[in-house]
Amino acid sequence: MANERIIVAGHSHTVCMKVPLKSPDGSPQEVVIRDGIVGLTGCWPRDREYWSRLYEWSGVGPIFLSWMGNQHKSYFLFEPEPAFDYLCARRPDLSLEGLADIVPESLIREFFKPSMAGLEAVLKNLKARGASATLLCPPPPKGDRRILSERISREGYFIRAAKDLNIHPQHVRVTDPNILLKLWTTMQEVMEEAASEHGFDMLLPPAESLTDIGFLKEEYWHHDVTHANAMYGDAVLDAIIRKVG
Amino acid sequence: MHPYSKADARAFWSRSVTRAFDAANLIPGGEPLIRRNDRVISAGSCFASNLVPYLEREGFVYHRTEKRNPSLSKAPGENLGYDSFSAAYGNVYTARQMLQLFRRACGEFVPKEDRWLSGDTIVDPFRPGLRYRARSSQEFDLLTAQHLRLTRQAFEEATVLIFTLGLTEGWVSSEDGAAYPACPGVIAGTFDSRRHIFLNQGVSDVVSDLDALIAGLRGINPALRLILTVSPVPLVATATEQHVLHATIYSKSVLRVAAEEISRRHANVRYFPAYEIVTGPQAPEAFFMPDRRNVSEDAVRTVMTAFISHCEQAGADRQREAVSPASSSHSVEFLADRITAAECDEAMLDEAR
């Protein structure tokens, strides 16, 4: 067992912190990220063995857990028909899309809750083992619809997937980034509540990585649609070190 | 010779009830209740929601203006009857409540007590059972305005409104007469005897409310046809001092008489005898469940068979129209999911670069 104090573990948003998504043989393995910080990689998708290893490390040092974080894009990256919008309680400054169907935010919260079931289980197990754990807020969405559309349209997996689903790529539109930001905010709120129920808190994205409105600044973008880059990862690691003290 | 000499068989109990009873014969012939190209909306008590699946299965267009956004269909559905009708008004039990819904939808009435605070949510007193409540007054105002706008749209766009009268008893505001669908404090809110008073409508009250409703509807949709029914479902409870059976028969009698008066008085208003089919002496005991209150599936089927037999026959093309097209939202959602999943896998490739 590594003797580093801080542990970074979880899903794909750990990659920007130099935690490989998958270990060579799929078994749980520690990876040194920085002095005093180790990452836990393993099988992808994460399996029972991975989480068991994390639970074993509960007494080693503070755990920083990345959990999913792309649900808002998994479901709503592309504008649904009919489009919807809502008033986000935490972001009343974000205006409503004129012609969209207005839905209650409580419905959006309920929509995201099932994706927290696994998180609840992991947090419960960590708490039962006396772990010190912090949930890492996933990076916020990227705010430039045009750039996102261009990147997606060039991606082979998008073209293949669209063909499989009989969708003409020209006929899908990336969702209004303001709505994606609201969805991310609501999802974050639901995650935060899940953490809080088990006595854990959440580490928000580093302030320097955010635009005035709260999108991820372009210099922190990974070249894909969903992830942040190594510079973001470094900023998060710095924030982790500041939090641990 | 006398008037009975020439009367049809259906005028005689022995010939049309004791023997050869056919629920479809209760409805006089003539124009179909619903035509193939009608846009049907409905409102009413719990019984009214039973009619909708039958209408749709027969290929009639049940017109909905307020629907759950399909991309959010994975979340649990709304409570009670809020997803069941043309817009999300839920059950409408009394003529007073229906008139109020119309007036609110048209901006003619704004209740003084229009929201209740419950923890960190805002409850709509006129839809107290909503699962998805607003979290702020601003959100509440937005959602309510949208709901009322879509309700008005339903009234404007429909060609037929089926309204099932359920109750005469209700609770209203002492300030402005606003009618609550449930006694405050039962589902949500807090009962206050100074603000909430009991109202048990008589025939003239119900007739007056229906007259006003029809006049209002004619103002925004002159060609709208109405079908009135009376729910056969007895009261859950009565706030009178009478036995609930006594109160039930009173209520249903009032509603039945009022429906008759209104249908005689207004062109394009017809009465459909669902109440008689289910509760008449000819009805089998099995039309009610063992609790003697809930109506059985057999009863609903009998009512709807009689109803449909007086509608214009739905053709195959109409049945095709009634089938919901595969939602394009689901395909787009799958696409988004595949991209985010692929990018997680891409992250693996990235490490190798």
Digit-coded pLDDT (tens) for B279-318: 999 999 999 999 999 999 999 999 999 999 999 985 544 4
Reported as a single tens digit per residue, the pLDDT across B224-235 is 999 999 999 999
Asked if residue B75 has pLDDT above 50, the reply is: yes
For A86, the closest chain B residue by CA position comes to: B139
More confidently predicted of B164 and A100: B164
Reported as a single tens digit per residue, the pLDDT across B170-211 is 999 999 999 999 999 998 999 999 999 999 999 999 999 999
Q: Could you tell me the two tokens for A158?
A: 């998008």
Interchain proximity A80–B333, CB inside 8 Å: yes
Residue B146 to residue A26: CA distance in whole angstroms = 52
Q: What percent of chain B clears pLDDT 90, i.e. is strictly above it?
A: 81
CA dihedral sign of residues B97, A86, B131, B155: positive
Q: How far does chain A reach from its first CA to its final CA, in angstroms?
A: 23
- Per the DSSP assignment, residues forming a β-bridge with B163 are B43, B228
Question: Where are the alpha helices (H) located in chain B, listed in sequence order?
Answer: 13, 46-57, 95-105, 137-157, 203-220, 244-265, 274-279, 297-309, 316-322, 328-352
Under the banding of pLDDT at 50, 70 and 90, the label for residue B345 is low
DSSP string over A182-242: HHHHHHHHHHHHHHHHTT-EEEPPPGGGB-SSSPBPGGGB-SSSS-B-HHHHHHHHHHHHH
The pLDDT of residue B346 is: 52
Reported as a single tens digit per residue, the pLDDT across B257-281 is 999 999 999 999 999 999 999 999 9
Residue A95 to residue A88: CA distance in whole angstroms = 9
Interchain proximity A11–B350, CB inside 8 Å: no
Q: Could you tell me the two tokens for B45?
A: 């008590």
More confidently predicted of A189 and A77: A189
Q: Residue count of chain A, please give it.
A: 245
The pLDDT of residue B319 is: 43
Q: What's the whole-number mean pLDDT along residues A97-120?
A: 91
Interchain proximity A76–B340, CB inside 8 Å: no
Enumerate the residues of chain B whose CB falls inside 8 A of the CB of residue A69.
none
Q: Could you tell me the two tokens for A243?
A: 């939090």
Residue B98 to residue B100: CA distance in whole angstroms = 5
Q: Rg (Cα) of chain A, in Å, rounded?
A: 18
Angle at alpha carbon of residue B341, lines to B335 and B343, rounded to 5°: 105
Interchain proximity A114–B74, CB inside 8 Å: yes
Q: Could you tell me the two tokens for B293?
A: 């209150």
Interchain proximity A155–B339, CB inside 8 Å: yes
The answer to whether the bond into A80 is cis (omega within 30° of 0) is no
Q: If we measure between CA atoms, which residue out of B55, B28, B154 comes closest to residue B101?
A: B154
Residue with tokens 């606003």: B178
The pLDDT of residue B231 is: 96
The pLDDT of residue A75 is: 86
Interchain proximity B69–A12, CB inside 8 Å: no
Residue B202 to residue B240: CA distance in whole angstroms = 13
Q: What's the whole-number mean pLDDT along residues B241-245?
A: 96
Asked if residue A1 has pLDDT above 70, the reply is: no
Cβ burial, residue B186 (10 Å; 0-12/13-18/19+) = middle
**Are B161 and B217 a contacting pair, CB within 8 Å?**
yes
The pLDDT of residue B29 is: 80
User: What is the average pLDDT value for chain B, to the nearest integer?
Assistant: 90
The pLDDT of residue A97 is: 75
The pLDDT of residue B82 is: 85
User: What is the average pLDDT value for chain A, to the nearest integer?
Assistant: 91
Q: If we measure between CA atoms, which residue out of A135, A140, A241, A122 comes closest to residue A184?
A: A140
Residue A102 to residue A96: CA distance in whole angstroms = 8
Residue B225 to residue B311: CA distance in whole angstroms = 13
Could you give the C-alpha distances from A92 to A89, A140, B275, in angstroms and in order?
A: 6, 17, 50
For B143, the closest chain A residue by CA position comes to: A102
**Are B327 and B70 a contacting pair, CB within 8 Å?**
yes
Q: Report ipTM (2 d.p.).
A: 0.89
Q: How far does chain B reach from its first CA to its final CA, in angstroms?
A: 105
Under the banding of pLDDT at 50, 70 and 90, the label for residue A218 is very high
Asked if residue A226 has pLDDT above 90, the reply is: no
Q: Which of B33-47, B100-114, B134-148, B214-228 has the lowest mean pLDDT?
A: B33-47
pTM: predicted TM-score of the whole model, two decimal places: 0.89
Asked if residue B343 has pLDDT above 70, the reply is: no
For B348, the closest chain A residue by CA position comes to: A21
The pLDDT of residue B323 is: 36
Asked if residue B73 has pLDDT above 50, the reply is: yes
Cβ burial, residue B10 (10 Å; 0-12/13-18/19+) = middle
Reported as a single tens digit per residue, the pLDDT across A148-202 is 888 888 777 777 777 777 777 777 888 999 999 999 999 999 999 999 999 999 9
Q: What's the whole-number mean pLDDT along residues A3-27?
A: 91
Enumerate the residues of chain B whose CB falls inside 8 A of the CB of residue A149.
none
Which among A76, A105, A110 is the nearest to B336, CB-wise? Answer: A76
